[in-house]
Structure 1
Amino acid sequence: MTTATAAPERVPSERQTRILDAAESVFARAGFHAATMQDVAAEAGMSPGNLYRYFASKDAIIAGMAERDRSLIAADFAELDPAKGSVLDQLEALGRRHLVEEPREKSIIALQIWAEAARNPVMAQMCAAIDGTLVGGLALAIAGAKANGELPANLDDARFLQAVFMMADGFFCRRATDPQFDPAMAAETLFKAMRGLAQVLLQPEAGSV
């Protein structure tokens, strides 16, 4: 039995992927507001007119980036399976893939999206969709780890997930803003802290105050 979440949606075409990759580079360098569609087209090696055939605006590109990330996250969680061994080890490998192996630009983009989401309802919905996929995948993974004894049966899932999200968000912020940040070393600290918190963030015993 796997810990899969909803199946990922349609994969972007090769040309769309090329545009999204180019946009990430441009947005990380210049920011959403300063970057232009012409900048993205130049980075992607195509004419602006050709770019507009695939994405009508910068907002459409940002939506495409967010959905691609959400879909990839869903696909990664779909691969988790207690039959493959330690669920926590699989989660760590997944975490390193997104926190360490991805380029720093991903963190910079995430920071920009969160800032925009504070005032832009559409951007906030994109963040909520990604968060929903993360919560669903982590909740199922935690359930699997509790079932096989890797995590305490009385773990307070809600508090644990809240702690995980706050630490991961802080990781992204630090990586985005500090060029000297060592993601591999920080990830080691992060995962050890998560495992430790899993042993203390427990549901109160019945009848306790």
Structure 2
Amino acid sequence: MSVPASAEARGGPAARRDHILDAAEACFVRNGFHRATMQDLAREAAMSPGNFYRYFESKEALVVGLVERERERGAQLVEEMERSGDRRGALLDIIARYFVSITREAAVLRMEIWSEATRNPAIAALTARTEAETQDWFVATFSALATSPDCDPDRLYALLAPLMKGILVSRAILPDYDPGPAVAQLHALLEAGLDGRLPRTTRAGPRITALV
């Protein structure tokens, strides 16, 4: 496809990079990470393949760019929390806003990256590193916000993480999903954990039989 010069010249390098990441997100959501080709991605961004490769040399590099952009957005939320006079209230508000406002496309993209991590060692390493950084930040934040010596930040994160991932999965696969009740459960569990009100032991749930 012939791309008008104005489409490739629009904005500076940072703006063009952001435009490419937006296009990659749309293409990965529509076609899947595995099926999308670099030619598809360049076409989605309305750029010539040669110019596209100047910014990202592979699909893996695009995923790194998407993850880095998400990390930057997360850092902005953290700064917002740190500036707040009520860090605990700000954390609860940020969690609610993030999970209530996340689009289905963003949730699908997250699942695409997780799926590719099961096949691609580079994406798996990136995902593992991101997960570890996220856990470290939450555990440190829980430690700082705890109001009781009975608060166990590591255990609290271990309980919250599956709920947070479950919201993302539900948002991706259920078009009419309402995250409100799950977010309320997140808030209640977080408040209880910070106040040291979690039960000492967790009763085992019913055994799940694999369907084969």
Alignment of 1:81-96 (within 5 A): 81=82, 84-96=84-96
Alignment of 1:51-130 (within 5 A): 51-81=52-82, 84-130=84-130
What's 2:209 paired with?
A: none
- Kindly indicate whether the alpha-carbon contact (under 8 Å) linking 1:16 and 1:54 is maintained by their aligned counterparts in 2: yes
- Kindly indicate whether the alpha-carbon contact (under 8 Å) linking 1:27 and 1:35 is maintained by their aligned counterparts in 2: yes
- Kindly indicate whether the alpha-carbon contact (under 8 Å) linking 1:73 and 1:133 is maintained by their aligned counterparts in 2: no
Change (3 A) 1:130 1:71: farther
- 2 CA distance for matches of 1:50 and 1:26? 18
What's 2:156 paired with?
A: 160
- 1 CA distance for matches of 2:188 and 2:128? 27
TM-score by length of 2: 0.78
Q: Which has the higher contact order (CA 8 A, sep 6+)?
A: 1
- 1 CA distance for matches of 2:74 and 2:129? 11
What amino acid maps onto 1:161 in structure 2?
Y
What's 2:166 paired with?
A: 170
Bigger shift: 90-99 or 60-69?
A: 90-99
- 2 CA distance for matches of 1:161 and 1:69? 20
Q: Deviation of residue 188 (structure 1)?
A: 2.9
Structure 2 residue ranges without an equivalent (≥5)? 1-12, 202-212
Residues 171-191 of structure 1, C-alpha deviation per residue, up to 9 Å, x if partnerless? 111111111111344323332
Q: Deviation of residue 202 (structure 1)?
A: 6.2
- Kindly indicate whether the alpha-carbon contact (under 8 Å) linking 2:100 and 2:179 is maintained by their aligned counterparts in 1: yes
- Kindly indicate whether the alpha-carbon contact (under 8 Å) linking 2:56 and 2:62 is maintained by their aligned counterparts in 1: yes
Q: Give the superposed CA RMSD.
A: 2.3
- 1 CA distance for matches of 2:96 and 2:42? 31
What's 2:17 paired with?
A: 16
What amino acid maps onto 1:183 in structure 2?
P
Number of aligned positions between the proteins? 188
Q: Deviation of residue 141 (structure 1)?
A: 1.9
